[in-house]
């Protein structure tokens, strides 16, 4: 690809960028928390169909994926869990195929009065587009789509099959991406534009979610010492889990991609409930745990170590020693993933193509980062041997109040994505 063609592609993105912002604002206006993704997915399916892509819209059947590697226990039912895939079928199929993946689901908004504006009434202020999901990751879906649009505006299409995926469930299980694999979607590489500041993600942690259920002995608070407080007992167990977290983060145990990070694995107690009455010693408590693990760390062994930590701490408690906690897994059972796990040349070739695209847009080398979160990249990388590049725009306050995405960053990512597609897939005339 010569410089003139690169310039033409970047200018084509610029020419469509106002439309891309309008599209992103419309997509962000569709609330799409877990179980409420249908409106946004209907919008995506319509946009893909209007562009002439072969559109596949289906309801995920848990029975189809429950026995597959990478499956996570579901939260709630899947009555409305719908994936959307739009496929470009190349006439020549002369290049290398590609999956463009992004998730449509967003996390809950939290108290609305703590937002400066309605999270589903997107607005632009000083170069940022605000709204829940604007950064994580509807801007990525927009950049994937408009990168293809830019090539089309020049009279070209990828010279290989491209699968544009809009999936559900990324924020709690990843089962939406897994369902795409079960459905048969495969490619030579995948690109996921999660919002990581235009850096290439070289590694991501795995994530385990679990609930710990505790019982106590309820008595009147006047004789509290004769009972057993389930909420206070939880404190002892949480402290033990933090001790495990610290052990896993010791320098000698860190994955090579995280040698520079003094605390890459994070434990979070995300929710706790318990008790029935302020004047009664609580007879029950449930707390929810999120724990990170390294790429290559055996997830079953990690679960056993977590469980033994909880049970050992319980054995030191006068009531729990004979009334063992119950551990329930729900949500993420996700392995870590690193690009270095790929042994062939394909991963290096895909990275090089993205490096060239990024350099052309930004005039500087592509930075690389190992993140302490997880993405859907693991499904393609671990279970389909597909090198998966995570590369997306700059965003702030994701999962927080006043989430926003940098529109100039979105423009650059769209340009780089278009250049990457042209390089990786090759081009053929429409």
pLDDT in tens, 182-207: 999 999 999 999 999 999 999 999 99
145 CB contacts (<8 Å, ≥6 apart)? 23, 47, 48, 51, 164
Taking the chain (430 residues) in consecutive chunks of 10 residues, what is each chunk's mean pLDDT?
96 98 98 96 98 98 96 87 98 97 97 97 98 98 98 98 97 96 98 98 98 96 92 97 97 93 96 96 98 97 98 97 96 97 95 98 98 97 97 98 98 98 98
* Integer angstrom CA distances of residue 189 from 144, 162, 390, 413: 14, 10, 11, 18
Query: For residue range 117-160, what is the model confidence (pLDDT) as tens digits?
Result: 999 999 999 999 999 999 999 999 999 999 999 999 999 999 99
- Could you tell me where in the chain the CATH 3.40.630.10 domains are found? 3-204+337-429
User: What is the model's pLDDT at position 77?
Assistant: 81
Q: In the chain, where does the domain assigned CATH 3.30.70.360 lie?
A: 206-334
The whole-number pLDDT of residue 37 equals 96
Say if residues 74 and 174 touch (Cβ distance below 8 Å): no
Topology (CATH) of 3-204+337-429: Aminopeptidase (3.40.630)
pTM: 0.95
The CA-based angle 299-300-306, given to 5 degrees, is: 90
Q: For the domain 206-334, what is the CATH code?
A: 3.30.70.360
**Model pLDDT, residue 78:** 87
CB-based burial label for 57 (10 Å; 0-12, 13-18, 19+): middle
């Amino acid at each position: 690809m010569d410089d003139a063609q690169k310039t033409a592609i970047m200018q084509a993105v610029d020419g469509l960028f106002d439309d891309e912002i309008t599209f992103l604002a419309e997509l962000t206006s569709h609330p799409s928390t877990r179980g409420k993704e249908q409106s946004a997915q209907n919008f995506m399916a319509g946009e893909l169909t209007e562009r002439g892509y072969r559109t596949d819209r289906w309801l995920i059947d848990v029975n189809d994926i429950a026995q597959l590697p990478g499956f996570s226990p579901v939260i709630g039912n899947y009555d409305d869990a719908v994936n959307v895939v739009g496929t470009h079928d190349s006439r020549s199929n002369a290049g290398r195929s590609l999956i463009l993946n992004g998730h449509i689901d967003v996390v809950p908004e939290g108290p609305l009065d703590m937002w400066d504006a309605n999270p589903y009434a997107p607005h632009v202020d000083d170069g940022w587009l605000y709204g829940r999901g604007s950064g994580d990751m509807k801007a990525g879906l927009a950049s994937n789509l408009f990168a293809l649009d830019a090539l089309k505006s020049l009279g070209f299409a990828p010279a290989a099959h491209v699968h544009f995926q809009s999936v559900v469930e990324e924020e709690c299980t990843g089962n939406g991406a897994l369902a795409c694999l079960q459905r048969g979607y495969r490619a030579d590489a995948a690109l996921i534009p999660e919002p990581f500041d235009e850096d290439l993600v070289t590694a991501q942690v795995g994530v385990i979610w679990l609930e710990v259920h505790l019982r106590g002995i309820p008595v009147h608070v006047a004789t509290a010492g004769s009972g057993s407080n389930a909420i206070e007992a939880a404190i002892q167990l949480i402290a033990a889990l933090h001790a495990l977290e610290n052990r896993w983060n010791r320098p000698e145990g860190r994955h090579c991609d995280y040698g520079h990070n003094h605390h890459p694995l994070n434990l979070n107690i995300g929710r706790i409930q318990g008790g029935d009455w302020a004047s009664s010693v609580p007879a029950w408590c449930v707390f929810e745990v999120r724990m990170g693990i390294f790429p290559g760390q055996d997830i079953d062994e990690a679960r056993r170590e977590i469980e033994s930590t909880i049970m050992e701490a319980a054995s030191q408690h006068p009531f729990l020693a004979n009334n063992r906690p119950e551990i329930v897994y729900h949500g993420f059972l996700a392995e870590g993933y690193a690009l270095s796990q790929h042994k062939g040349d394909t991963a290096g070739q895909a990275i090089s193509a993205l490096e060239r695209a990024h350099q052309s847009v930004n005039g500087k080398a592509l930075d690389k980062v190992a993140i302490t979160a997880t993405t859907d990249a693991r499904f393609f990388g671990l279970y389909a041997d597909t090198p998966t590049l995570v590369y997306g725009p700059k965003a702030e306050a994701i999962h927080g109040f006043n989430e926003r995405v940098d529109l100039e960053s979105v423009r650059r990512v769209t340009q780089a994505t278009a250049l990457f597609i042209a390089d990786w897939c090759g081009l053929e005339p429409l």
